[in-house]
Amino acid sequence: MKIGYARVSTEEQNLSLQKQALRSAGCRDIVEDHGVSGAAVAGPKLAELLAKLKKGDVLIVWRLDRLGRSLEQLIKMITAIGKAGAGFASLTEAIDTTTAGGRLVFHMMGALAEFERGLIAERTRAGMKAAKRRGKHVGRPPKLSRQQILHARELITSGKESRNSVAELFKVDVKTLRRALLWLLRPRSQHKDDDVEHAIWRFATHCYDARKREQRTPFARLVAE
């Protein structure tokens, strides 16, 4: 059975043009959504319609943007329709997944959506690398500053406090503190501040040399535990 779907973004807009085109395409039932933006995942009436689709049904829209605005959203909806055993058709774009040509167009849309996701991911990675080169922090802000990490190391290595008590003092989880202490063992090239990095680099070198001799320093041993 051919089922039409019509949608307008505001209550003031008229559905008559869409409904006329859908009736001309042979739709006996037309489901309507009023005042629903195309940015929404699915209007209330569309969600009900998608849940009721069965094998042999064909969902028809006047134009693709009536179903969804983004390509990814359209691909997901049309895929769900296909899994229900139903077909999909868009009158303006002449797409009909019940035909071989329509399925070809749909697969091309899927390939374009995947290509678009790849480009976005590539641009994101490039932006993150550029930000790192400029010395900017990428991701969530650190919970502990370098001064706090150095202070925590001093408290632990001196035996004044345990890791648990230091973590409680700085109001962080013990795992967070451990990761922060491991930061001190990173290579010199991965730090920014010259004075701090030089001290850290000397300490880290000492830890690595001790590890090679199978004799860890107290701090390296504490971090590794």
**Is residue 80 located within the same domain as residue 13?**
yes
Last residue of a domain, one of 40, 73, 98: 98
Range of the domain at 182: 146-224
pLDDT in the model for residue 177: 81
- The pLDDT tens digits of the residues spanning 55-78 come to 989 999 998 888 877 777 788 888
- The pLDDT tens digits of the residues spanning 168-211 come to 888 888 888 887 877 666 654 444 444 444 444 455 445 445 54
pLDDT in the model for residue 195: 44
**Is residue 155 located within the same domain as residue 86?**
no
Q: Would you call 165 a catalytic residue per the annotation?
A: no
User: Model-level pTM greater than 0.85?
Assistant: no
Set 9, 37, 145, 158: catalytic member: 9
What token pair was written down for 155?
């408290």
Q: Give every CB contact of residue 178 below 8 A, 6+ residues apart in sequence.
A: 163, 223
67: CATH: 3.40.50.1390
Task: Specify burial of residue 6 (Cβ count, 10 A radius: 0-12, 13-18, 19+).
Answer: buried
Residue with tokens 């009909």: 96
Q: Which amino acid is at 98?
A: T
Percent of the chain's residues with pLDDT above 90: 9
What separation in angstroms does the CA of 109 have from each of 64, 71, 187? 12, 8, 46
pLDDT in the model for residue 59: 92
**Is residue 94 located within the same domain as residue 33?**
yes
Residue 43 lies in a domain: yes
> Degrees (nearest 5) of the Cα angle 69, 112, 114?
95
Residue 133 lies in a domain: no
Q: How many domains does the chain have?
A: 2
pLDDT in the model for residue 86: 92
**Is residue 16 located within the same domain as residue 86?**
yes
What does residue 90 show for φ and ψ, rounded to 5 degrees? Answer: -120, 120
Residue 217 lies in a domain: yes
Mean pLDDT, residues 143-165 taken together: 82
Give the whole-angstrom CA distance, residue 64 versus residue 69: 8
Residue 187 lies in a domain: yes
Q: Which of 4, 16, 137, 150 is nearest to 67 (CA)?
A: 4
pLDDT in the model for residue 105: 82
pLDDT in the model for residue 191: 47
Residue 175 lies in a domain: yes
Residue 216 lies in a domain: yes
Residue 131 lies in a domain: no
Region for 135 from its dihedrals, namely left if φ exceeds 0, alpha if ψ lies in -120 to 50, beta otherwise: left
Q: Contacts for 9-18 with beta carbons within 8 Å, 24 or more apart?
A: 9/35, 9/36, 9/37, 9/38, 10/35, 11/35, 17/62, 18/62, 18/66
**Is residue 79 located within the same domain as residue 159?**
no
**Is residue 9 located within the same domain as residue 92?**
yes
Q: Which of 35, 37, 32 is nearest to 49 (CA)?
A: 32
The answer, yes or no, to whether residue 116 has pLDDT greater than 80, is no
Residue 136 lies in a domain: no
- The pLDDT tens digits of the residues spanning 88-108 come to 998 988 888 888 888 888 788
B/e letters for 72-88, b = 16+ CB within 10 Å, e = fewer, are ebbbebbeebeebebbb
Percent of the chain's residues with pLDDT above 70: 76
Stronger pLDDT, 121 or 184, i.e. the higher one: 121
Residue 165 parent element (H or E): helix 163-169
| Start-to-end C-alpha separation, the chain | 67
pLDDT in the model for residue 203: 52
Q: Partners of 162 in the beta sheet? A: none
